[in-house]
Structure 1
């Protein structure tokens, strides 16, 4: 089976876009991720899947993290944290319980490390939720390699 075709196949599953932030001695680090899901309600657990080739791998190891779920109008933030830096940061930080988070995100989920698992060319980080908040608005969606909209009634 062809890896590229498998990736194209998986692109047919629409996802939301998140920025995962974590504190380091050098400051707050963040990366764009759409491989994120809720795992358990009791205890409250979420999963973030991280490519083994990224800097984020070492930053998340045994570290708190915050999942910032983006709103539909926050595409520039997603691109910024995906490595397409802009002259002026398209967001503001705000202090959360476990570190800095993206101000005005659709939702925030603050986590402490719970377990880490081998996920092939990725590492699966499970975090135990210690705090969360959500607000109104529409999510930023991703479908077949492009930003998309969620249509609601």
Structure 2
């Protein structure tokens, strides 16, 4: 089985787009993630899958983090945190309870570290949800290697 072909297969599953932010070294770090899911309601847990080759890997180790669920008009923000730096910045920071987060995101989920697991070429970070907020709007989606959108019903 070819890993690249498997990646194309998995791309058939539409996902939302998030930016995970965390504080370290007196600054806010962030990276774009679409491998994110809810795990448990009691306790409230979420999972973020992080590629071992990303510089943000060590930032999340034993550290609180915020998942910012992006709206359909925040594609440039997703690109910025995916390594395609935008100038001027396509977003504004706002202060959350556990660090900086992206203003006007569709949702914010603030977490304390719960556990980390080996996931092959990724690390699976579980966060215990300590605070969350959300608003109405349409999500930014990722499907077949491209950004997409859907109208909320």
One fold, TM greater than 0.5?
yes
- The 2-side partners of 1:23 and 1:62 are apart by 11
In structure 2, what is the equivalent of residue 112 of structure 1? 112
- Structure 1 stretches (4+) deviating beyond 6 angstroms? none
Question: What TM-score, normalized by structure 1, do the two folds share?
Answer: 0.98
Deviation readout 1:27-81 (Å, 9 max, x if unpaired): 0000000000000000000000000011111000000000000000000000000
In structure 1, what is the equivalent of residue 48 of structure 2? 48
Question: What TM-score, normalized by structure 2, do the two folds share?
Answer: 0.98
In structure 2, what is the equivalent of residue 13 of structure 1? 13
For the aligned residue pairs, the C-alpha RMSD in angstroms reads 0.7
Equivalenced residue count is 153
- The 1-side partners of 2:135 and 2:152 are apart by 16
Alignment of 1:23-38 (within 5 A): 23-38=23-38
- The 2-side partners of 1:152 and 1:88 are apart by 30
* Structure 2: tracts of 5 or more residues without a match: none
